[in-house]
Structure 1
Amino acid sequence: MLYKTLQWTVAPVIRAAWRPDFEGREHIPEEGPAILACNHLSVADHYFLALATSRHIATMAKIEYFMRPGLKGKLIGATVRGLGQVAVDRSGGRKSAQALGPSEQVLQNGQLFAIFPEGTRSPDGKLHKGRTGVARLALSSGAPVIPIGLTGTDEVLPFGTTRPRLAKVSVRIGKPLAFTKYANSLAPDRITLRAVTDEIMAAIADLSGQEYVDTYARRRQVNSEPPSE
């Protein structure tokens, strides 16, 4: 209900103010599960991605949003739950992998699930190496992966700012990617997971026009950029 309320109230304001361009909306199915795999430039990515379809899109939200103390923390937790977000522990390893269970349930329920394979916002505007969670989710669920390339959202809400700016935003949606050739692989190895992830990232790069760099975004951020969201 909260998500629908925002679609009726906030979404028209965003459309009127920024007039974002959309290409390939027909690739998002009107029903049934699909994984929306998108580049990550800004916190604003979520808002413009949500305009691509009238369907509810579930995404991951860092687990801290669900656990903050005090009245403000409870309000934030209630909000992310009301939006249908899935908690993810970004400390890595097994804890991060556990988020794939609830994510897969979203897909099993025939819904849309959006994921940012880079894991965090790009610190330099380039497209960084994707983490293999998107491949695990695609292979375990059998859902098609729809690559999406966003441009301009980093100008709407750059790092370190809270006040949005007017900028030209484009959302390019690619054709669904199917990985049925791996359907019989009950436990895909790291080579398979990396190959699937790289194929998804290549499709995103074609849509976003970003330069691809074969390093993780978080690693570069820790060394030289502001902390991630």
Structure 2
Amino acid sequence: MTSDGAPNPNEPGETDATPLKPSALYTFGRIAIAPLARAIYRPRVEGKSNIPPEGPVIFASNHLSFIDSIAIPIAAAPRPVHFLAKSDYFTGTGLKGWFSRAFFTAVGAVPVDRGAGQAALDALERQRQILDSGAAGALHPEGTRSRDGRRYKGRTGVAFLALQTGAPVVPIGLIGTDKVMPVGAKMPSLKERVVVKFGEPLDLSHPGPASSGRARRTATDEIMAAIHALSGQELADAYNALPAQTPIEKIKRALPHERR
């Protein structure tokens, strides 16, 4: 794994995850949940004609809210879209656990273990399997949600997938999802409206092979520039990161040599 979150081509990336197979719950979600959500939230969708009707495609968007990955499949329907979600959403017990598992399955989520190292490699491998099956996958190059509304630098895992598989990348600008469900909110607001902008598919065959760090960086910057053109966010010249969880981590991040 490289420092910006891309896989190291010399490291193994195999996983025992099974090929993607649509379940009855997912079929139900496409038929019932997506139209219901569109009726309630009335998202404004622009550039829908830019979505390839079939074949593998990577949807790459900015990341403002928990609901971003759900908003994309709803806006892209009837084109099926899958996104990765942490496995905790699928392993709960009781009625709450059943509801969480059923909901995320219905909206196209694929469970993965989240984290660095091998977990990150396995997540990328799962996305590659989604693309190899001819499906569409949604990813957020920034990695985690922006807490200040700015658009952060993209990590190169998305570009690695595009260069490795040859799948086109459709950039997406999400606007207003942070108002519908801000960080920390328990339920989405019904007062706000989301805008989903699909850009023209990007052909990233020119930067070079996936094994080239320069090619991955060039492709990533091209993806992020296209996202910015759609979202219009203020730019942050840094990588986004989760807030420090421990006192030691907070101290390490405050040290000058730890800053990016």
The TM-score range, normalised by the shorter chain, is: 0.7 to 0.9
Map of 1:178 onto structure 2: 203
Q: Which runs of 5+ in 2 are unaligned?
A: 1-23, 246-260
Deviations 1:190-218 (A, max 9, x none): 22212211111111011011112122222
Letter in 2 for 1:212: L
Structure 1, residues 38-73: CA drift from partner, whole Å, max 9, x if none? 1111122233212222021110112333444x3344
Report the equivalent of 1:146.
170
Aligned to 1:222: 244
- Taking a change above 3 Å as real, the CA distance of residues 86 and 133 of structure 1, as seen in their structure-2 partners, is farther
> 2 CA distance for matches of 1:181 and 1:217?
27
Query: Taking structure 2 as the reference length, what is the TM-score of the superposition?
Result: 0.76
SS at match of 2:185: coil
The code of the aligned residue for 1:2 comes to: L
Q: 1:207 aligns with which of 212, 222, 230?
A: 230
Residue 148 of structure 2 is aligned to residue 115 of structure 1: no
Q: Secondary structure at the match of 2:148?
A: coil
Once structures 1 and 2 are overlaid, which stretch shifts more, 173-182 or 4-13?
Answer: 4-13
How many residue pairs match? The answer is 219
Q: How does 1:1-229 map to 2 (within 5 A)?
A: 1-50=24-73, 51-68=75-92, 70-71=93-94, 72-73=96-97, 76-77=100-101, 79-81=103-105, 83-165=107-189, 166-182=191-207, 185=209, 187-219=210-242, 221-222=243-244
- Structure 1 stretches of 5 or more lacking a match? 224-229
Query: What is the aligned-residue identity percentage?
Result: 45
Q: Deviations over 1:166-188 (max 9, x none)?
A: 212111100011112256x2x52
C-alpha deviation, 1:15, in angstroms: 2.3
Offset from partner CA, 1:136-188 (integer Å, 9 cap, x none): 111111100000001011111111112221212111100011112256x2x52
SS in 2 for 1:175: coil
> RMSD across aligned C-alpha pairs, in angstroms?
2.2
Q: Tell me the SS of whatever aligns to 1:11.
A: helix
Comparing 168-177 with 78-87, greater Cα deviation is found at: 78-87
Which one has the bigger helix percentage? 1
Partner letter of residue 92 of structure 1?
A
What TM-score does the superposition give when structure 1 sets the normalisation length?
0.86
Instruction: State whether residues 60 and 169 of structure 2, in contact with CA within 8 Å, keep that contact through their aligned partners in structure 1.
Output: yes
